[in-house]
Amino acid sequence: MAPSAAIDRTRASVARVYDCFLGGKDNYDVDREVFEQVNRAAPQMSRLARDHREWLVRVTRFLTRSAGIDQFLDCGAGLPTAENTHQVAQRMNPEARVVYVDNDPVVAAHGRALLEENDQSHLVMADLTEPDQVLEHPVVTKFLDFDRPLALIQCSTIHHVPDAQRPREIMERYIERLPAGSYLALTHFYDPQDGGDASELARFVEGIFSNSSMGSGFFRTRSEIASFFGDLELVEPGITRLRDWWPDGPHLNPPTAVDEVLIGGVARKR
């Protein structure tokens, strides 16, 4: 969806509903209604949202410290939360640059306020389903150097792109334009389609999200999600449950259905 400057309080927005799951305050009744429908049936989905943010923190640490990446294009920034990409990256490397992309006017307002003091981090209002427009945006080309490796982050974004918009082709285009040595970090709602509890949960949540005024939240198969990485080389351990991607310590509890419905990975362009 193209960015709009006006806040629509009559329709739930992806960014604000996600903010509800994270326990944030930047949401309206219409967003909380969508959240409550899921939360009543599957209260653990809020934990999954927090696990998701922790995954992004671990990935950003890995990319900055181990992979030596110092420039990030974070598509679908979301509302500012406890640990944002630029804060994690700049803690490891104060010179790291982050350009966020979003199309939600509430994200624009809060994001600009958060980034005002930081000339290494910027927010662009653009439609992430238009890779050429994003990559040619003057702020992107000013602050990111496409002659050096960078990290493209697509966390919980592509599952808001319907099949009709050809998400695979969108990702192909991004990957094609990434400099050699760049990384892609991507997470996506997952339906194992095995008739088990996780699949039932995936179908239930997809039904609520896509029939609400928010209109999207598609749970795809593992091979569909793997296809979004194109021919990039997956970093170990590949595409996994978020909790299994280099956790900070041993798991104290076995995974539940909720842990199964969001998977992600990091991959490198040769």
CB 75 within 8 A of CB 154: yes
How many chain residues interact with ligand SAM (CB under 6 A)? 22
Rank residues 14 and 178 by Cβ distance to ligand SAM and give the closer one: 14
Q: Segment near ligand SAM (CB under 6 A), from 125-133, 137-145, 203-211, 247-255?
A: 125-133
Rank residues 180 and 220 by Cβ distance to ligand SAM and give the closer one: 220
Binding ligand SAM (rule: CB under 6 A), the pick from 32, 50, 53, 168 is 53
Q: Quick one: 44 exposed, middle or buried, by C-beta within 10 A (0-12, 13-18, 19+)? A: middle
Verify binding: residue 128, ligand SAM, rule CB under 6 A.
yes
The 158-197 contact track toward ligand SAM, x by CB under 6 A, reads --x-------------------------------------
**Please, what is the minimum distance in Å from the beta carbon of residue 249 to ligand SAM?**
22
Distance CA 236, CA 215 (A): 34
Verify binding: residue 78, ligand SAM, rule CB under 6 A.
yes
Verify binding: residue 35, ligand SAM, rule CB under 6 A.
no
Verify binding: residue 121, ligand SAM, rule CB under 6 A.
no
**Please, what is the minimum distance in Å from the beta carbon of residue 74 to ligand SAM?**
7
**Please, what is the minimum distance in Å from the beta carbon of residue 135 to ligand SAM?**
13
Verify binding: residue 155, ligand SAM, rule CB under 6 A.
yes
The 4-33 contact track toward ligand SAM, x by CB under 6 A, reads ----------xx--x---------------
Binding ligand SAM (rule: CB under 6 A), the pick from 64, 90, 156, 182 is 156
Radius of gyration of the CA atoms of the chain, in A: 17
Torsion of CA 60, 269, 245, 219, to 10 degrees: 100
Residues at the interface with ligand SAM (CB under 6 A): 1, 14-15, 18, 52-53, 56, 76-78, 101-104, 107, 127-129, 155-157, 160
